[in-house]
Amino acid sequence: MRVLGVDPGLTRCGVGVVEGVAGRPLTMRGVGVVRTPADAELGHRLVAIEQGIEQWLDEYRPEFVAVERVFSQHNVRTVMGTAQASAVAMLCASRRGIPVALHTPSEVKAAVTGSGRADKAQVGAMVTRLLRLDAPPKPADAADALALAICHIWRAPAQNRLQQAVAQNRLQQAAALHASKPATAPKGRTA
């Protein structure tokens, strides 16, 4: 499985491609940051992010795109920019028919470090170790993008089984509901 992880941001949008399957060693295929100038008009920044993501999709041809789920605690302005960059990444992937998965920051941290409260240094250190890199990717946005890809590779099989079980359960419920309804004769036309 090849996954493009995207750590969305207007100024620095981290991108990283990881390949592998759960339970086996993973391989980093590429890592970087799509940058936009903070003083540029918002529309131009979003176009630059789109062009950067499109280049990554063209070059690495991922099977999945994993994007950090945006959430807000205090700074609405920062969250708006992050959400806009996130939407661009989802749009680029969806336009190509590539499935998109959203993962929360704590979910990613827990998957990679074992703790949902890990700091950036701990995430960077574990990404370095898991991908057998010489040094942590810089800036932290790049390491976070790789962590998103790793998280998706490790969690996707379990999530797929869960989704299949839920779908099967719904089918069984629908079949049971249909079987419990009394059969009614079709209404005929009267002359």
- pLDDT number for residue 75: 76
By DSSP bridging, strand 12-19 and strand 27-35 are: antiparallel
Is 186 a domain residue?
no
Which member of 19, 41, 63, 141 is catalytic? 141
Q: Please say if 68 is a catalytic residue.
A: yes
Residues in the chain: 191
pLDDT at 126 over 80: yes
Is 99 a domain residue?
yes
Average pLDDT, integer, range 101-126: 95
- pLDDT number for residue 172: 83
Is 187 a domain residue?
no
Is 75 a domain residue?
yes
Cα-Cα end-to-end distance for the chain = 64
**Percentage, residues of the chain above pLDDT 90:** 74
Classify residue 26 as exposed, middle or buried by CB count within 10 Å of its CB (0-12, 13-18, 19+). Answer: buried
- Of 27-36, 127-136, 172-181, the one with minimum mean pLDDT is 172-181
58 is in an annotated binding site: no
Spatial neighbors of 82 by CB under 8 A, at least 6 apart, are 8, 9, 10, 70
Is 62 a domain residue?
yes
134 is in an annotated binding site: no
- pLDDT number for residue 181: 72
144 is in an annotated binding site: no
Is 102 a domain residue?
yes
- Of 6-15, 32-41, 51-60, 169-178, the one with minimum mean pLDDT is 169-178
Which member of 7, 19, 39, 119 is catalytic? 7
Output the pTM of the full model. 0.83
- pLDDT number for residue 180: 77
Give Cα 104 to chain centroid, integer Å.
9
Structural domain tally of the chain? 1
Is 19 a domain residue?
yes
Average pLDDT, integer, range 126-154: 97
Domain range enclosing 51? 2-179
Using CA atoms, how far residue 134 sits from 25, 28, 61, 79, 138, in Å, is: 16, 12, 25, 33, 12
- pLDDT number for residue 184: 63
**Percentage, residues of the chain above pLDDT 70:** 88
Q: What digits encode the pLDDT tens for the residues 49-86? A: 999 999 999 999 999 999 999 877 677 878 899 999 99
Q: How far apart are CA 100 and CA 181, in angstroms?
A: 39
- What CATH number does the domain containing 131 carry? 3.30.420.10
Which member of 68, 107, 134, 144 is catalytic? 68
- Of 10-19, 96-105, 164-173, the one with minimum mean pLDDT is 164-173
pLDDT tier for residue 169 given thresholds of 50, 70 and 90: confident
